[in-house]
Amino acid sequence: MAAAEDPSYDAMWRAALAKPCGTITEYSNHLVVQCDDPTVHFLFTKPAHPAHPGIIEERLFQDAFGKWRIRTEGYAFGSTAPSPAFERWLAEITERGAAARP
């Protein structure tokens, strides 16, 4: 997601909402923004989440052999280094994506 001019949680939230996104699903401590492009979605922490403020972007893509893969990127805000809570959340989401691969 391009938020290079203002790489903040709020800027990335606005950038996600500016994309054609069809669904925002709210959970107790995070939001999932599913774009109309079914290969991309974003997870945004809410203030109650231990990793807040943080964002995870997941993109489906086909590798050189035609296999579908998931690219997971995390964006942690609030301190100079990602918090242990953010690192755990990112690992959990990454592992979930790996488990879903055929």
Question: Quick check: is 59 in a domain?
Answer: yes
Average pLDDT, the chain: 85
When pLDDT is cut at 50, 70 and 90, the band that residue 3 belongs to is very low
Question: Quick check: is 38 in a domain?
Answer: yes
Question: Quick check: is 4 in a domain?
Answer: no
Hey, what amino acid is at 24?
Answer: I
Question: Quick check: is 8 in a domain?
Answer: no
Report pLDDT for 91: 95
Question: Quick check: is 15 in a domain?
Answer: no
The alpha carbon dihedral of 51, 69, 1, 17 has a sign of negative
Tally of domains within the chain: 1
Share of the chain above pLDDT 70, in %: 87
- Asked if 16 and 40 touch (Cβ cutoff 8 Å), the reply is no
pLDDT in tens, 43-73: 999 999 999 999 999 999 999 999 989 999 9
- Residue of 40, 34, 42 whose CA lies nearest to 12: 42
For residue 35, what are the domain limits? Answer: 20-100
